[in-house]
Structure 1
Amino acid sequence: MTKTELKRVCVKPFDKDRFEVINDYAFTLASFNGVIPKGFKTDGASIPRIFWSFYPPFKSEYFSACVIHDYLCEKANSRKDYKLADFALKEAMLLLGCSKFKCFVFYHACNAFHFVKCLIKSK
């Protein structure tokens, strides 16, 4: 594996619209390295159903990046942690060959959601 590619995650169906990681998934990004443990459950991209025809939540093109993002968000405790997760999503999508436009849309949608979530949580 070179610096410019990211290994794909292996999952199996777990429940309706959810998947389970079947092997420990090690990933290396410039911003973050980690291992997602076997058994971690994800819903892929958490995209409102109205947008599924444009951005299906389980599309293999960006699914591995979404699993990384879900894992980092599950571990997040602060706005800084969410920012790292959002940046890791963008970086992983680029490594997987997603278009810059798609990376822009996903990154800014997640970043805006987490900004509002952290604002609401702090009150």
Structure 2
Amino acid sequence: MTKTELKRVCVKPFDKDRFEVVLDYVFVLPSFKGLIPKGFKTDGASIPRIFWSFYPPYRSEYFSACVIHDYLCEKANSRKDYKLADQVLKEAMSVLGCSKFKCFIFYHACNTFHFLKYIFKSITRS
């Protein structure tokens, strides 16, 4: 069985704390594949500043996974789409060699945020 590898995304600074993808980024994971077009803008990992000393938002270890996640979240139209984006983040981080603990933290932080976002959205619609 071949080990899955994930190329790193190529970005340039766009604005304060934001980056722009400079080449189309094709990614292939065991359960998902996709393309992020040149010009997509991202902030890396959307981590509250208080946690940046532990998990910097631009750390190359997981930056490509975060760009994929940002793209999938931008395209998401339903709770199911956000759940898929969170699962892809976890898988991409694992492929990039992040620890199981770090994958766990990122996945559950994102999944909890998206869950609460949908609860809040449904309450405000009522």
Q: State the TM bucket, normalised to the shorter chain.
A: over 0.9
Report deviation, 1:122.
2.0
Q: CA RMSD in A?
A: 0.9
| Separation in 1, partners of 2:25, 2:122 | 33
Q: What letter is aligned with 2:95?
A: L
Other-structure match for 2:53: 53
Could you report, residue by residue, the CA deviation over 1:60-109 in whole angstroms, capped at 9, with x for unpaired residues? 00000000000000000111000000000000000000000000000000
| Separation in 2, partners of 1:39, 1:79 | 26
Using the aligned pairs only, state the percent identity: 84
Q: Which runs of 5+ in 1 are unaligned?
A: none
Q: Give TM-score, length-normalised by structure 1.
A: 0.96
Work out the number of aligned pairs and report it.
122
Report deviation, 1:3.
4.4
Q: Map 1:61-76 to 2 at 5 A.
A: 61-76=61-76
Runs (4+) off by over 4 Å = none
Other-structure match for 2:89: 89
Structure possessing the higher radius of gyration over alpha carbons: 2
| Separation in 2, partners of 1:3, 1:97 | 12
Other-structure match for 1:15: 15
